[in-house]
Amino acid sequence: MLVYVSYFVYFIHNNNLIRQDMTMIYFQAGEKVRLKKAIPNRPEMIVDSIPKARMPRDSKEEKGKSVLLGVKCFWFTSNGFYQEKTFSTKDLEKVK
């Protein structure tokens, strides 16, 4: 299941406060994805896991929170070899 979460980002440009709508996309294990960039023979991959790591934090509110490392995917090449790699969420799109 693909979940969309909308949020707003405010920034100042030429002394004007600008609101920009942003959409975050979350992937779950077992979903079929591919690279957004159109390259020849880009594989369709399966999401294996969403690796996270605990990072040391200074503030008390963020202490113990984990950080997303990426989306670990696997696929098989045209020769039948198993491949796996961790990608940024910005580099992937869901295959329908």
pLDDT tens digits for range 3-56: 344 455 666 767 777 666 655 667 889 999 999 999 998 999 999 998 877 777
| Domain total in the chain | 1
pLDDT of residue 95: 92
pLDDT for residue 84 is more than 80: yes
pLDDT at 72 over 70: yes
Structural domain of residue 83, as residue ranges? 3-94
pLDDT, tens digit, 9 for 90 and up, residues 45-71: 999 998 877 777 676 666 667 777 889
Instruction: Assign 3-class secondary structure to the chain.
Output: CCEEEEEEEEEEECCEEEEEEEEEEECCCCCEEEECCCCCCCCCEEEEECCEEECCCCCCCCCCCEEECCEEEEEECCCCCEEEEEECHHHEEECC
**Of 72 and 10, more confident:** 72
